[in-house]
Amino acid sequence: MAMTDVLSAEDIKKAVGAFSAAESFNYKKFFEMVGLKKKSAEDVKKVFHILDKDRSGFIEEEELKFVLKGFTPEGRDLSDKETKALLAAGDKDGDGKIGADEFATLVAES
């Protein structure tokens, strides 16, 4: 499954482009711009599974670094600071990774 099966290619391009500058990533604005906030719980889960590259059932810190590339190959890598901030926001149980339910909560909170 591709990200464009769930989200509009135009929205993805705009959202990723808005955060192309280093240290500019804001997950709340990004999820809203990319249209994820308006999607069903099922669609949010689909996006989670696309971002979970190693299919572990979690998005770990290493995968978060490439979260924008998960939406489009043109996306940039997040900085360590941005990656840690995203992990801190999403990791509700403190296990160092983001599960599907935590991801859904993270999107809903944005």
Q: Which residues are annotated as a binding site for Ca(2+)?
A: 52, 54, 56, 58, 63, 91, 93, 95, 97, 102
Which residues does the annotation place in the binding site?
Answer: 52, 54, 56, 58, 63, 91, 93, 95, 97, 102
Cβ proximity of 83 and 75 under 8 Å: no
